[in-house]
Each structure stands twice: as structure tokens, then as C-alpha cells.
Amino acid sequence: MASLKFIHAADLHLDSPFAGLKHLPASVLERLKESTFAAFSRLVDLTVKEKADFLILAGDLFDGENRSLKAQLRLKKEFEKLKHSGISVYVIHGNHDHLSGKWLNIDWPENVRVFSHEQAECLPFLKDGKTAAHLYGYSYPERAVKTNITDQYIKTGDAPFHIGLLHGSVEGGSEDHDVYCPFSLKDLERAGFDYWALGHIHKREILSMKETMAIYPGNIQGRHRKESGEKGCYAVTLGDGGPQAVFHPVHDVLWMEQEINMEGLDTAGELIRLCRIEKEQFRQKGVPAVLTIRLTGGTPLAAELKQAEVLEDLLHSLNDEEDRRDFVWIGKLQDYTSLPADREQLKQDSVFYRDFFAVTEQYRFLEQAAAPLYSNSSVRKYIGLFSEEEQKEIIREAELLVLSELLKEGGGEK
């Protein structure tokens, strides 16, 4: 059996607005706004370099349903590069770039094949004049496709390989994305395909199955701190030995998280020095970066770090002179520090602190800790917007703030 090689990517989100970042220097903000386009250009260059037979784009090519002319023209330009290299492109549209939006329509080059929005269809891939693979896909006709459509993916003909393209949510998968086109692993195995090219989830993942391989490649460019780490695509080879997949990063700007343990640190100067060391280490990677730094450990600075203006001043100092091409911008400082006091020892030494921790530890959600606020309907509608993780963080910060003040003032009776 002849082998087949292709690149699988998804969730390009071209022309993402990067909202909420207007405070950045103009050059940094412009680099971020261009990063989705730059990442896709890298993806195309990789596809040519790898001499792939074709490129699969599994949904959400554009960030919004009313795609801009700029985004379409930039996409067309890259498609034409692939055309000149004799490389086909297979596209499905997802919930962000569904086909009910409004836009100025332009024609794609003839090497681009877009799957139907009426039902899943089968398109052939020809190599040396012979059918080398059947590809199956479905484009969203509207934003919210809530039904399981895998029964429409029916293996057809005697092609050497069968590949499914699906933009949707695996059963029991990520809670960070709305559920569209839900499916189970059994649904994928039942189709009998060699490979499933998935999209929609922005964190890359290889789904474990015996009879087939299914991959979420994630998006090609992170757009905020929750989309941290390397972003890219998979180069997939199908042959006698089964599918083989290799991840390739193509991101243009790296979003990362880093922890700094402040145990024993007692001056702001030492903290700034450690943060700058971290920044320079990331700068050596050769890719601009946006960092979230998490401050942990017991330190005499904990009480001051609970003050928003202190963290803001630290950010300004650390981001000074980052208006450069190889920027390493600190987007957020997260304070998880505490005063250098042993929690368990405090409980043993003081009835007051034992009772204090007994109260704070019983609260798991903000609704419990802030019951009077939740009883007010005008306040409740805003408090309810916090995620479970955010609620726990608010409770933790409140506990640390009170504890810092108590310890600073010598509170608590033995």
C-alpha cells in the first residue's frame, strides 16, 4: 500500500481582535494582531517543506461569522502558494466561521475543496491519476449545530485510506468550549476510518482508540493566557504501519505561565531581579512571548502584594522598554504568596487561628462565603459570572488578606 502524507490543522481564528489589550505598546499590540496570519503563513511554509500531499483545515478558519475582506485575501494568498506547489487543501467550516454569516465573497483557487453544509460528503484525493484517499467532512450551516452527525460519515468505495474531518466536541471532553456536533469515541471507531482530523478544542490532544487515530491539533496561535504553550499542527503519515503523527509548532507569539517561589525573599528588588531573569530566559527562545507569572511561597512581602497598586507598579517596572520586536511582555502577575507562617502550627498554637481556619476551610464556593451578597438580586447576576476556579481563588485571596493583616498586627490569642 502506498503511503500518504498530509498536514492537519484547525482553529486558525484569523483576524482575532485580541480585545482587552489596548494598553499595550503599539508595536506589541500590532504583532499580536498579526500573529494569527503569521502562524498560518508558517503553517503553509511547513506544508510545502514537508512535501505534503494535502492540507486539512478542520474548521474555524476565521474568528467571526462576518469574516473580513482582509482575512479572506490573506487566506487566499496562502492557498495560492500551496497551489503553485501542487498541494490540495480540504476545508470544513465550524461554529465561528459557519456559512450563515455575511461577507464579501471571493473565490478560492481550484486546489481548495470545501465540504458541504447540507450533510457530510465524501471527496476524493487523487495522486498520480489514481484515487489515493477518500475524505469525509461537514461544514456548519449555522453557528450552533448541537446534534451528533457522525452517522452521516459513511465509508465509501475502496480507496486505500479514509479520513474524516469533524469540528465538534468529544463526549467528556473540555469544559472550556461550548458543545457542538457531540460525538463519542465509539462513534469514530464505528466509521472504520484510518484517521479523524478534529477541530474546535484549542488544546491539542490525541484520542486513544484501537482501530483508528483521532487528533485535536489545537489552535495554531494562542490569543490569551489560557491558550498557553506551543501551538501548531500535526504532520500525519498513513501507510502499512498505521497512522503516524508528529506535532510541529507554528505559533508567532508564545503565551506562557511561569512560577516564581518567593520563599525567603524580603525585598521588591529581589523579586524584580528574579522576574527579569525569567524574562531573559524566555527571550532566548527567539519568539516574542506574553508571560503570566505566578508568585508563590511564604514571604514578608505578602501583605504588600495583596494591594493591587503594588502589583501594578511591579508590572510597569518589568515591562519598561519592552517596546521591541523580541518582546517578553508580562501580561499578569498572580499573587499566591502568604506570610512566612506555618498554617498547621498556627492551628496548634492558637484557638483563635484554629477557629479562623475552620471557618475559611468550609467555604468551597463564593455563594457560601458571600451569602448576603447573593441574596441581593442586583448583585447576584454579576457574581454568578465567576467560574468555579475564579470563585475559589477569590476565597483564597480573601483568607490570605485577612491572615496577613492579623499576623502583621499580632492578632490571635493563645
Neighbours of 44 (CB within 10 A): 23
Answer whether 330's CB lies under 8 Å from 319's CB.
yes
Question: DSSP character for 202?
Answer: S
**pLDDT score, position 216:** 98
Answer whether 57's CB lies under 8 Å from 10's CB.
yes
First and final C-alpha spacing in the chain: 79
**Of 311, 205, 208, which Cα lies nearest the Cα of 268?**
311
Q: What is the pTM of this model?
A: 0.85
**pLDDT score, position 413:** 45
Answer whether 28's CB lies under 8 Å from 291's CB.
no
Question: DSSP character for 394?
Answer: H
The series of mean pLDDT values per 10 residues for the chain, 414 residues long, is: 92 92 90 97 98 98 94 98 98 97 93 97 96 98 96 96 98 82 97 98 94 97 96 97 96 97 92 95 94 93 87 95 93 88 71 80 67 66 66 73 69 46
We find that the CATH architecture of domain 4-249 is 4-Layer Sandwich (3.60)
**pLDDT score, position 22:** 82
**pLDDT score, position 358:** 82
Q: How far apart are CA 53 and CA 237, in angstroms?
A: 10
Burial 316-338 (b: 16+ CB within 10 A, else e): eebbeebeeeebbbbbebbbbbb
**Of 178, 176, 181, 177, which Cα lies nearest the Cα of 165?**
181
- Sorted by where each begins, the domain ranges of the chain are 4-249, 254-408
H runs (alpha helix) in 85-237: 185-191
